[in-house]
Each structure stands twice: as C-alpha cells, then as structure tokens.
Amino acid sequence: MTTFDENSASAYLRVALAAASKAADISRSYYAGNFIVTTKADRTPVTQADVECEQAIREHILDAFPDHGFYGEETGRTQEDAEYLWLVDPIDGTKGFVRQYPFFSTQIALMHHGEIILGVSSGTMMNELAWAEKGQGAWLNGSLLKVSRIDNPDRAAVSVGNLKSLAGSEGWASLGNVVERADRIRGYGDFYHYHLLASGKIEAVIESDVNILDIAALSIIVTEAGGVFTNLNGEKPNLEIRSVLAANPSLHAKYLELLRGYVA
C-alpha cells in the first residue's frame, strides 16, 4: 500500500489540512447539539458551528496567504481579481449536522486562474480525511486512492444525490436508464459517496442541486484518483456548476449517453 509522504505536501496543502483540523475541533464540539440554528434567506439552516468553523478556516488561510481571495459559504467572496481563490464550505451537510447525522464534512479547495488545484475533504465524525493536489494523487487517511476499473454499467454501483431536484427535472426519465442497468443504486450522499468513488468502492455519483463550494475539493480528489468529474452535460466544474456526473473513466462516457436529454 502506498502511503503519503508528508514532505511532498506544498505549503498550500499544509495550510489547508491545518485549517480543516481546526474546523474539525469546532464542529466536533458542537455535534452533540448545543448550538443555535437560524435560517438563511434561501431557507437553509446555519449554525454557530458553521460560522465559527468558517472564521477559523478563513483566519488561518489568510494569515498564511493574505493576498489570496476567499469564497466562503457563510462570509461570501473577497478579492474578486485574486490569482488564487480559496473555496470553503465549513460544514457541508448542515441539515444532517443539525439532526446529528455523521455525514457532514468540511470542504476546502484552492483555485488558481479558474482551475481547482487542491482539495481537502474532512468527514469529521466518520474519521475520513481525504486530500489531493494537482499531479500528486489523491489520498484518504494517508493511503493512495484509485477509482475502480469496472467498465460495464450492469456491474456498477451508482450513488445518487438530491433526488428531489432530479425528480423535478426534464431529464428524470433519463436517470431511469442508469437505474435500470446498475447492479446497485444507493444514496450515500454529501461527501461520502465521492470518497467511495475515489476509493474504487462504487463506480459513479449522480447529483443535482449542488454549488461549487460543495464539490470543488471533491472534484480534484476524484480526478486525481483517476476519475472523471463533470456536470450532467459533460462540462468541467466551474463557479456556476449545479450538477455532477462523476465516474471512473471507463463508465463516464457511457453514463453521459444514458443521461442524454438531461438538462443540468
């Protein structure tokens, strides 16, 4: 088993991992439920843990790289013209966090001139810390990740997220083409199904109603593990992404064909 050489980590990765650790300490302390929940304008919940985690991440990153931009779920975006832009969701899966589901995570990514070059995905309560840097592979708890080699949709395990918005789309019938052929359909959700995909334990993730902060870090983890990560129209992730088709390279094009007609 190939293990991670800490000496290969860039300064960016070391800072991102330290920031994720600080956030994990905060979210873990609140997990038992001793926090205030408010509702944002889009009717999604936000907690003290979300706010404090983002503050800790932001301070740690900008102390190290004061000329970088920062785009956070709770505090918005700074330095629109910055060469480097950090993308942060302090608690991805707040609805689950509020109800004490363990599937929430902290997502930290770094974008350089519009390209995602680094990602850290910290599944605090599930003891899963994944990270990737461009050209350096993807790792989970220090072990190298690789997607599976299964190339037949009839043998594939597929995880589907945000079924409500998928069901309301014009391409709902197209999703049936995938479901009908899959060996297993699951809905692991949030960060977890992307970790499973990058680990070679499932073959694809299909998801809607996402934003770049949800999936930026996960996109580079999947691609550095050898996978393909696009939206449901086959387009690479950008700041406007709203859907995901992530799969191993043997199956991604086949799923695009099965999903033809979907409007992302």
Residue 77: how many other CB atoms lie within 10 Å: 14
Q: Please calculate the CA angle 138-90-200 and round it to the nearest 5 degrees.
A: 25
Beta-strand relationship, 184-186 and 157-161: parallel
pLDDT at 196 over 90: yes
pLDDT digits (tens, 9 = 90+) for 66-100: 999 999 999 999 888 899 999 999 999 988 888 88
Q: Which of 88, 122, 79, 134 lies closest to 108 in space, CA to CA?
A: 88
Among 99-113, 200-214, 248-262, the least confident range:
248-262
- pLDDT at position 43: 67
Q: Which domains does the chain possess? A: 6-144 (3.30.540.10), 153-258 (3.40.190.80)
| Distance, CA of 205 to CA of 192 (rounded, Å) | 10
For the chain, what percent of residues have pLDDT higher than 70?
A: 97
- pLDDT at position 73: 93
pLDDT digits (tens, 9 = 90+) for 125-158: 999 999 999 999 999 999 999 999 999 999 999 9
pTM of the model: 0.93
- pLDDT at position 261: 57
